[in-house]
Structure 1
């Protein structure tokens, strides 16, 4: 019986050891006793949880400033904080491949509710071959089968204001569920966030309907939801993960496309290297410009008090300029 007990413990201990190995900068925030503690996996969810939660909520964002979420893994303190929290909000759709093991590593007495905030969005699937098998992670998380050539779920839902609206509603509903006493406050603050997201979406729709060109070349495949909802087509240098390296022939084809379509800008993002975007731009004889997938804030963004709405407004202005 003793050996059987040890064997049963082996998997949880291995999972915990893997999680404790997570390195890099620490997340910010600590548990506050008299509030609803909400742990979020990356910036947009954190912002919406803060806005909707207001003074009733203590939000802790796991992803540190200046860090890109695709390859980040949590630390031991993140397990401790999440075990004591009331809500754990994650994007899902395969973005955070570490979530299933993380949840298994929480304290056995934890009452935290885990909520996949992208649930209900009409996911975009891609059959792209890439190193970081987001689709397989998502399939495993949802008990689906995944094969080497299976479709992958594109996790970048929040980059479209239309999808972000549904995510904000899911966040509001989860807050109401764990803290019904403050339902009116959550509903009222959600309503303000929803109005801002609807206005932002309307602006994207109106302004992008006017531009003559609809093709964009981006550093990684993060803008499919934005493109679907507002009539654009993306061509990505890298895959769903920004470190999925392209082949030389892919870059040559993209350079040909840029010349053929008269594309004037290659978009890059600030949390990952702009080297490939600049290489392609030089090859095609065009300029580069930022298109931000709003996966996290840079230190400069934080100093400038940037947020989801200000960064998305800048995205829209850059898209208008590039697509004229």
Structure 2
């Protein structure tokens, strides 16, 4: 009797351990490795750049799981444990990760991890679009936005302005982010400074080539207006001469009013816009609703906030997704 109960108890305990291990495996990109420079990143583009620059000297752990959109995600307790043991924690900043202040407070008091905001140095864009999750709220930066709004202007405007956090969607901004990541790795691990410099230069050259393609290809297109499901393309538009009209605000699940859909449908017809862009990590329902209202088609424009399961299996990355974005923009703006 007792041995039967014991066996059942052990089996139950083993099952719980398996479930826990399975759950953890599905929610993270890795775990701490002793002897490596452990770098925890807040979401996909930073993770990719850190891996590229870090090479074999770095163990990169991405907090955001595959297939998850970053705006509403929040870390788990295990994420705090892993980050406490890491040497670097890299996050975008500019209001993307609203959970970061409390996350940093929750780290082990003896942790030596260095937190780095990799969007530092980018000319941040401010917007008065509503964002129900508060991304970037009251973060009036020293930089100027694409309309020349200064920090003084932000004060005059009150608390209605928000920082647009989608810096990485422009290759020009991605170059700045990559350099910040390189600098943080060199500071954390000066013994491998030259390796980080060499790998950064390779990555920077690829980003510069991508930037040149966007400048050349988009510059010769006759149309410049795009309609997107989620207001994630302001940096891309500013840097390459486009104008975005968004169904939703900075957060991809902010619900628009029915009148907004009607107004956008009118804009689509007036401007001769032929495609409504949607993204794969969130529902395409509103994009299709607008497309049906305006009598046009839909197409993907990826904000590269993360990979879908299929993209991960296909070994897609920042560059393949941005190349697809460029091809889709060319098709839509001919």
TM-score by length of 2: 0.87
2:27 is paired with a residue of what secondary structure?
Answer: coil
> Residue 53 of structure 1 corresponds to which residue in structure 2?
54
CA contact 2:171–2:207 (8 Å) conserved in 1: yes
- TM-superposed CA distance for 1:150, in Å, is 2.5
Structure 2: gaps spanning 5 or more residues: 1-23, 142-153
> Residue 15 of structure 2 corresponds to which residue in structure 1?
none
Between the aligned partners of 2:25 and 2:328, the Cα distance in structure 1 is 32
The answer to whether 1:323 aligns with 2:320 is no
Deviations 1:98-124 (A, max 9, x none): 000000000000000000000000000
> Residue 316 of structure 2 corresponds to which residue in structure 1?
306
Between the aligned partners of 2:106 and 2:32, the Cα distance in structure 1 is 18
- Consecutive aligned runs of 4 or more in structure 1 exceeding 3 Å deviation: 137-140, 144-149
> Residue 64 of structure 1 corresponds to which residue in structure 2?
65
- TM-superposed CA distance for 1:146, in Å, is 11
Match for residue 199 of structure 2 among 158, 167, 189:
189
- Give the 5 Å matches for 1:145-184: 149-184=159-194
Deviations 1:36-70 (A, max 9, x none): 00000000000000000000000000000000000
> Residue 222 of structure 1 corresponds to which residue in structure 2?
232
Who wins on radius of gyration, i.e. which is larger?
A: 2
The answer to whether 1:44 aligns with 2:45 is yes
- TM-superposed CA distance for 1:130, in Å, is 2.6
- TM-superposed CA distance for 1:139, in Å, is 6.1
2:136 is paired with a residue of what secondary structure?
Answer: helix
- TM-superposed CA distance for 1:136, in Å, is 2.3
2:132 is paired with a residue of what secondary structure?
Answer: coil
CA contact 2:36–2:59 (8 Å) conserved in 1: yes
- Give the 5 Å matches for 1:90-101: 90-101=91-102
CA contact 1:219–1:237 (8 Å) conserved in 2: yes
Between the aligned partners of 1:287 and 1:24, the Cα distance in structure 2 is 38
Between the aligned partners of 1:261 and 1:147, the Cα distance in structure 2 is 30
> Residue 256 of structure 1 corresponds to which residue in structure 2?
266
2:276 is paired with a residue of what secondary structure?
Answer: strand
- TM-superposed CA distance for 1:128, in Å, is 1.4
2:193 is paired with a residue of what secondary structure?
Answer: helix
- TM-superposed CA distance for 1:135, in Å, is 2.5
RMSD across aligned positions (CA): 1.9
2:137 is paired with a residue of what secondary structure?
Answer: helix
CA contact 1:135–1:146 (8 Å) conserved in 2: no
The answer to whether 1:282 aligns with 2:292 is yes
- TM-superposed CA distance for 1:161, in Å, is 0.1
> Residue 8 of structure 2 corresponds to which residue in structure 1?
none
- TM-superposed CA distance for 1:24, in Å, is 12
2:191 is paired with a residue of what secondary structure?
Answer: helix
- TM-superposed CA distance for 1:134, in Å, is 1.3
> Residue 130 of structure 2 corresponds to which residue in structure 1?
129
2:332 is paired with a residue of what secondary structure?
Answer: helix
Q: How many aligned positions are there?
A: 299
2:89 is paired with a residue of what secondary structure?
Answer: strand
Deviations 1:70-96 (A, max 9, x none): 000000110000000000000000000
Between the aligned partners of 2:79 and 2:248, the Cα distance in structure 1 is 30
Match for residue 244 of structure 1 among 244, 254, 260:
254
TM-score by length of 1: 0.90
Between the aligned partners of 1:302 and 1:25, the Cα distance in structure 2 is 13
Between the aligned partners of 2:265 and 2:233, the Cα distance in structure 1 is 19
- TM-superposed CA distance for 1:27, in Å, is 1.7
Between the aligned partners of 1:278 and 1:76, the Cα distance in structure 2 is 38
> Residue 35 of structure 1 corresponds to which residue in structure 2?
36
Deviations 1:242-261 (A, max 9, x none): 01110111110000000000
